[in-house]
């Protein structure tokens, strides 16, 4: 083949190089972002507070460690919001001021509540009970906690810390 015969192919090849390269198109579908959001994530320390044990032997219990951990998430829709509230009592331990007995709350205690609300604001009252293990041969108890959660801004107001007899 003569070199002049290749000339039209060379021009066609060079002309193709004049157009800018294009990015490859994605073959995977775009995954939409999640429609839920964390509205509040708060840990309230309980250490230093006191609870009254009205079960025999009655005594005041000083909470020496632990937190109330609340996470509020919301799935946002066009006209409403589904709110999920998860409340964990974490590592709660106390000491009886009369008997010296140790009180512990199991680490796996949690409550979960789902609420649908319009508009996406919330002021909710909670009255929760967690199992409380008392050292020794006496009966275990309930650790009762009452608080108000307000979203926004995501604050908790603890109103009651009591210890109740389990029957």
Asked whether residue 30 is domain-assigned, the answer is no
In a domain? residue 105 = yes
Q: What's the rounded Cα separation, in Å, for the pair 88 and 113?
A: 12
CB distance 76 to 34 below 8 Å: no
In a domain, 65, yes or no: yes
User: 30-44, 83-97, 153-167: which has the highest mean pLDDT?
Assistant: 83-97
Residue 20 lies in a domain: no
pLDDT tens-digit series, residues 72-89: 887 767 676 677 888 888
Non-local CB neighbours of 130 within 8 Å, separated by 6+ positions: 89, 92, 105, 106, 109, 142, 143, 145
Report yes or no: 46 and 92 within 8 Å, Cβ to Cβ: yes
Question: Mean pLDDT for the chain?
Answer: 75
Q: Give pLDDT, residue 158.
A: 79
Sign of the dihedral through C-alpha 135, 136, 138, 140? positive
Decide if 112 contacts 143 (C-beta within 8 A): no
Q: Is residue 96 part of a domain?
A: yes
- Give the list of residues 6+ apart from residue 77 with CB closer than 8 angstroms, or none: 35
d(CA 54, CA 141): 10
Residue 8 has phi, psi (to 5 degrees) of -60, -35
Q: Total structural domains in the chain?
A: 1
Residue 14 lies in a domain: no
pLDDT at 66 > cutoff 70: yes
pLDDT interval class at 7 (50, 70, 90): very low
Quickly state the pLDDT bin for 102 (edges 50, 70, 90). very high
pLDDT of residue 132: 85
The whole-number average pLDDT for the span 107-131 is 73
In a domain, 69, yes or no: yes
Comparing 39-53, 101-115, 130-144, the range with the smallest average pLDDT is 101-115
Q: Which residues contact 71 (CB under 8 A, 6 or more apart)?
A: 38, 40, 41, 85, 86
- Cβ neighbour number for residue 71 with a 10 Å cutoff: 18
Q: Is the pTM of this model over 0.75?
A: no
Domain range for residue 146? Answer: 36-165
Q: Has residue 130 been placed in a domain? A: yes
């Amino acid at each position: 083949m003569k070199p002049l015969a290749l000339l039209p192919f060379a021009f066609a090849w060079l002309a193709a190089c004049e157009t800018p390269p294009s990015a490859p198109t994605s073959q995977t579908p775009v995954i939409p972002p999640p429609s839920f959001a964390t509205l509040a994530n708060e840990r309230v320390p309980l250490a230093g507070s006191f609870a009254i044990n009205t079960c025999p032997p009655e005594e005041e219990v000083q909470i020496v460690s632990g937190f109330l951990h609340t996470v509020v998430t919301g799935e946002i829709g066009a006209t409403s919001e589904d709110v999920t509230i998860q409340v964990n009592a974490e590592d709660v331990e106390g000491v009886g001021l009369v008997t010296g007995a140790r009180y512990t709350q199991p680490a796996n205690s949690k409550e979960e509540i789902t609420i649908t609300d319009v508009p996406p604001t919330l002021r909710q009252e909670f009255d929760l009970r967690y199992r409380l293990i008392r050292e020794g041969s006496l009966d275990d108890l309930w650790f009762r906690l009452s608080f108000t959660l307000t979203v926004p801004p995501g604050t908790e107001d603890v109103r009651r810390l009591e210890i109740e007899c389990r029957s």
